[in-house]
Structures are given as C-alpha cells and as structure tokens.
Chains A and B, each alone.
Chain A
Amino acid sequence: MKALRNFLDKIKPQFEKGEKFGIFGSTFEAFESFLFVSDKVTSKGSHIRDNIDMKRTMSVVVIALVPALLFGMWNVGYQHFLSLGEQADFWATFWFGFLKVFPIIVVCYVVGLGIEFAFAQMRGHEVNEGFLVTGMIIPLILPPETPLWMVAVATAFAVIIGKEVFGGTGMNILNPALTARAFLFFAYPSNMSGDKVWIAEKADAFSGATPLGDALVGNIDKIPSPLEMIIGNIPGSIGETSVIAILIGAFILLYTGVGSWRIMFSVITGGLVMGWIFNLCAVNEYMQIPAWEHLIMGGFAFGAIFMATDPVTASQTNKGKFIYGFFIGLLAVLIRVVNPAYPEGMMLAILFMNVFAPLIDHYVIEANIKKRLKRAKKLINI
C-alpha cells in the first residue's frame, strides 16, 4: 500500500496543469481518489466533510449488489442446464453463468467508463464514481442472452444522452441504468422480451417464459410457486430473480443508511395498494393473484431496492420520497397487469416518476413554506 502511495506521489507532479501529462489530470485524479482518499479540500463554503463521500456511497451499493450478482450467475447456469435436462454440479453451473455474465459486465464498464473519462478530460472536471454502480446494475437488469454489442450501444446511449448531456453524475434526470434498459427495450424488442431470451442457450422445446410473461398471456397456473420466486431459480433478467439475494442487498443499504427506507417502504405500499384494488374489481385471473405476489414477481423487488432509491433521480424531500415511491409501486403493478405490450412495468414506472420527482419536491417545499408562513402570521397577530 505504501509503495503504491509513494509511486502516486512520485508521478503526481507530472499531471499538474501545464506539465507533461497535464491534459490527463482528471484521469490521474480519478485513479488516485479511487485508490486513496482524495486530498482535495473545499475552497469556500462548508469545510466539514464526512468520510462518506460519493466513492464510499457507491462502493456500498456495489457491495449490496454482489449477492444478486452471484446468485444471478449461478441461476443463468442453472436455467441453462435445466432446459437441456442435464445435471451439472454447483461449480460447473456457476462457471457457465460466470462466462455468460462476466463479458456483459466488462463491456458495460469499459464503454461507460471510457465515455466518462473522455467527457471528464474534455470538460476538465474530475471523473465521478457514479458509473461504478450504473455499470454494475446494467448487466443485472438484462436478459442473459443480450448480445454484447447491444450492451455497448445501450451503455453509450445511457451515459451520453441519459447523463453527460445534463452535465454528468448528479445532474441526470433519468436513472442511467434504466435508460440503457429502456433503450434496448424499444430498440431491440425481440432481444428484450418474449420467452426466448431469458435462458442462455436453451433447448428449443423448453418454455423459457418468465412468470410475468406467463401471467400476461393468461397462463396463471404456470406461474412458479411463491417459494421459487423468492429463492429465484426461475428465468428472468440476470439479477432480478432472487428476492432473497435482493433482500440481503436491501439490508446492507438500510444498515449503512445509503438507501432510503422511505422509498423502499412506499414502493412496496404502492404495489400492494394497486394489487388490492385489482383484487377488489378482478375481471380476469391475473387481477386475482394475491397483491403480495406482485412484490416477488419480475423486477419489482430489484427496482424497489436498487433503482427507485437512486439518490440523484429520486425525490429529495422526505415527504416527496413517500409520494414518489408510492406512485412507482402503483404504476408498476398497473402497467404490468393492464398493458399487454409491457409485461414488466417497473422500468417504465421508475423512469416516469424520475421525471416527476422534481415537481413533487417543488410542491412539497411550497407547502412547507406556506405552512410556516401561516404559523408566523399567527404569531404576529397574537
């Protein structure tokens, strides 16, 4: 560790402004602050800084994503061998999934970080760590059979149009990972939905439909049992299937205070409320399934824990978070049950509420100002 620090200190002067590698200043800064705590101090405003800077926050989220990732790798292999009707031991299964998933992660990081570094150089600001999480989430919400070039195109689109156009990390309106998925969903629908894409190299005769796909076409009896959906050994996007793995991640996020419990809680409430409303006025079998089952189907859990809670695109006010989360849950269930074109509503629900988050914040703040003005006026009158 010490040797690394010394090495960095030795080459640091070369990256100062005007020196030999001056133009790569922000690249150096990025690597240095990735390895060590940055020695930059604020020049004006508040000088008190918590240890929990963006790097720490992002690292926690990445750690929270690891259970879902590992389970996803295993499940990709498990589904593959299941569809072939073969038996394989644990490590062979995991290795198969690893070989499928790892290239997607590498492509995501290479393309995304490449663009981030290029923009940071061009604009002369430091590279933000925001993409560490995005690059990890994108693979987890894709089907295992997504071609790598599509992953690259979608990542580039998400980083450029979804993020850099607005000014980089912290300025984006839409969640970048979901922007990538939405791009793929509309651009290459045959690779993002249907029953062919959810199992890697599956045998043709084996049905690869996800629970949501089955439910939408009326095969309610084919939906896996709740236990299977909670454990997650079912076809689906790489990281979304296992509710247990996601709950471990949720625990990490909540314990460290990185993820907002308000959003998670209200997304789940919203989903349950919409499920109950459908139960009350059920006209088909899909509407009759118990409300809580919506929470463990498809990407609901993953979206509620990891994507709705994105601190940049969610509402900032505490009251706003409840409203924002509630409507995500409500819309997700509404879309998936009612709209035949979109088997999963979580992606569109979160993107939709991302757009509304600033508006919600605005009215929450306005309401607060009004309330306090009223109180102040009362005091004056007395």
Chain B
Amino acid sequence: MSTLSREDVANLARLARIEMTPDELDHLATEMDVILTAVARVQEVATADVKPTSHPLPLRNVTRPDLVIPSLSSEAALSGAPAKEDGRFRVPQILGEES
C-alpha cells in the first residue's frame, strides 16, 4: 500500500525548508512509506468507539493566572542571533523588488 510519492516528500521538504538531493528523496520516499504503512495498521485496529488520542494525559483546562514575570534582557534575547541591529534581530530580505 504505497501512499507517499517522491513528489510528496519533495513538497514536505520544501515546506520544512530542508534541502534534499535526488538520492535522499528516493531513499526517504521509500522509508517514510514503510513508516506510514506501519501506522496505517494501527488505524485498522482502532474501531469507531476508540477516540483519536492527541493528548495521552487525562488533563483539561491547565492554565496560569494572568501575571507578569520578568523577561529576558534584550542582550540575553539577542545573544544567539546570527545578526542584530538596534536591539533587533536582523534578517535577510523578505520580499524581492516589486514586479
């Protein structure tokens, strides 16, 4: 039961901003397909009366009160930034010239 194509993997890689070689795509397409097939088997076992589990903990409404606690200093916040300017994170151009 093949469900994941090479194109699917290429698209996922693009969405995740991961660069992949053609070899890696071939390899991963097969490998991820095996994983999906294995997971699909679990779905076969799950009958209509079994609720999908997104949270294994039997917890609800875990909240905190609306209280301010001290933040990082600007220096600490920026300490891992590859580039910074005027107390801000500096990032490369987002959109190119207008068409």
User: Are A and B subunits of one complex?
Assistant: no
Binding site for A on B (CB under 8 A): none
